[in-house]
Amino acid sequence: MTTTDLLPAPPPRAAARRALLAGSAGNLVEWYEFGVYGCFATVIAANFFTPQAGTGAGAGVQGGAEALVATYASFALAFFFRPVGALLFGRIGDRFGRRPALVLVIGLMTLATTLIGLLPTRADIGAAAPWLLTFLRVLQGLSAGGEFGGAVSLMAEYAPPGRRGLYGAWQSFTVALGLLAGAATAAALATALPAAALYAWGWRIPFLLALPLGAVALWLRTALEEPPGGPPGGPPSGPSAGSGAGPASATGTTDPTRTTGVREQARAVALGIGRIMGWSAAGYAFLVVLPSHLQSALGASFRDALLATTLVNLGFAAAILPAGMLSDRIGRRPVMLCGALGVAVLAFPLLHLLQASGTPAQVRVAAVLTAGALVGLLAGPGPAMLAEMFPRRVRCTGLGLSYALANAVFSGCAGLFITALATRTGNTAVPAHYAAAACALSVPALLTLRADDHREPLR
């Protein structure tokens, strides 16, 4: 039997579109919550991590860099539970099928996010409040860790020939939509409500909105069919080397039933982390950390910071699908290299334009749109690139673990690292240092991609 004989026939277009919708809807809900948490970081700091919680804007913005650092520490902790979720739900997805894993993760995320909207604050119950919030963040981290592997596996396995980059890009596109929805909701509330009301109760509204959104995503996922070939079956043996990891990369073919050793498994995951570390770091530095950094380091108002966040996410969203489609034509490597090198070279000039007092408004808008678009060049081809690294029977676990570990280190710590370092040094260019360094380090790993990876069938 040849490798080609083991590959399932392409799925019908209608089934592929349903899978794309179900995967995208759940992913949007997951990232909507993360966007909301980032936008309301200063408000959450005032309500949960400040001993004398204030209810006004001054209490949230100036009432303490220490409280903001504690807020981002909770944010980072959730990210460090993502690899646990990737292993747990990845095993379910690889052993029992993509649908049960995706149903479980969206149910857990919806529950945890809704409960955050109902939590009593520190003013109500004292020191227990931040601990309860952190516990719910951990549940969200477990859920988000399982989301990526299951959703990307589903989309890639349902993708028609020659469109894997586009289908995978929908995962990143719904990340952008979720972040945009979170930023837009926060901006609308900041405009409609007085500061005191926003800090007292208005911040709860976007978290409670996760309940109806999650219910819709859950309904879509319960109606899913498994990708062609059915559940992979059998206990996963770990990520397989491939697409530049191990001996398989020399020929571009690998027996999909082959069990690799621990060293090859670790090498594949490590290579995946290296390829997306710039995406992880730049994405969170520009898309999530930006609003609180503009407030705490540059003195921007809450509304102006949210406007900048909305614009950078618009640039991000606009670039993702074209980048995924382009990678289907010319390959993952050139598109992702352009994004990584672009961030490394332009991060400092773009941040300087935002900081300079005499910069015209239209130039500031162009700067934040460009920053978002550069991250989009990495995020568009990224999911398909990871899916192509692992065979079907371990794909959920392998790509999910690579993504979760990269995000735990380079995304989860972004807010904590940037806020703490900027506070201690007074250097307002810390976000540019962080994003540029990570993208520069990612370039050697991206160079290991082969030119024809996008043309090979999934294993």
57 pLDDT band (50/70/90 cuts)? very low
Answer yes or no: is 285 within a domain: yes
52 pLDDT band (50/70/90 cuts)? low
Buried b (16+ CB within 10 A) or exposed e, 21-58: ebbbbbbbbbbbbbbbbbbbbbbbbbbbbbeebbbbbe
CA angle 324, 338, 440 (to 5 degrees): 125
- Mean pLDDT calculated for residue range 262-274: 84
Identify the weakest region by mean pLDDT among 5-19, 37-51, 54-68, 294-308.
54-68
Residue 26 host element (H or E): helix 13-39
What residues make up the domain containing 214? 12-248+258-455
Question: Residue 117 class from Cβ within 10 Å (0-12 exposed, 13-18 middle, 19+ buried)?
Answer: middle
Answer yes or no: is 4 within a domain: no
**What is the phi/psi pair of residue 102, to 5°?**
-70, -35
Answer yes or no: is 1 within a domain: no
Domain count for the chain: 1
d(CA 392, CA 397): 10
325 pLDDT band (50/70/90 cuts)? very high
Answer yes or no: is 220 within a domain: yes
Res. 255: pLDDT tops 50: no
How distant, in Å, are the alpha carbons of 62, 177, 275 from that of 301? Answer: 11, 24, 36
Question: What is the per-residue pLDDT for 4?
Answer: 45
More confident site: 174 or 127: 174
Res. 249: pLDDT tops 60: no
Q: What is the pLDDT of residues 137-158, one digit of tens each?
A: 889 888 888 888 888 988 888 8
Q: What is the pLDDT of residues 67-126, one digit of tens each?
A: 666 666 666 677 788 899 999 999 898 888 888 899 999 999 899 889 988 999 888 888
Answer yes or no: is 253 within a domain: no
Answer yes or no: is 71 within a domain: yes
Q: What is the pLDDT of residues 393-441, one digit of tens each?
A: 888 888 999 998 998 888 777 766 777 777 777 777 778 888 899 999 9
Following CA atoms 385, 386, 389, 393 in sequence, which dihedral angle do they give, to the nearest 10 degrees?
Answer: -130
Q: Are 89 and 400 in contact (CB under 8 A)?
A: yes
Answer yes or no: is 315 within a domain: yes
More confident site: 311 or 42: 311
- Mean pLDDT calculated for residue range 43-65: 58
The amino acid at residue 419 is: T
Q: What CATH code is carried by the domain that includes residue 128?
A: 1.20.1250.20
Answer yes or no: is 70 within a domain: yes
**Residue 274 token pair:** 């290296």
Query: Mean pLDDT of all residues in the chain?
Result: 79
Question: What is the per-residue pLDDT for 184?
Answer: 82
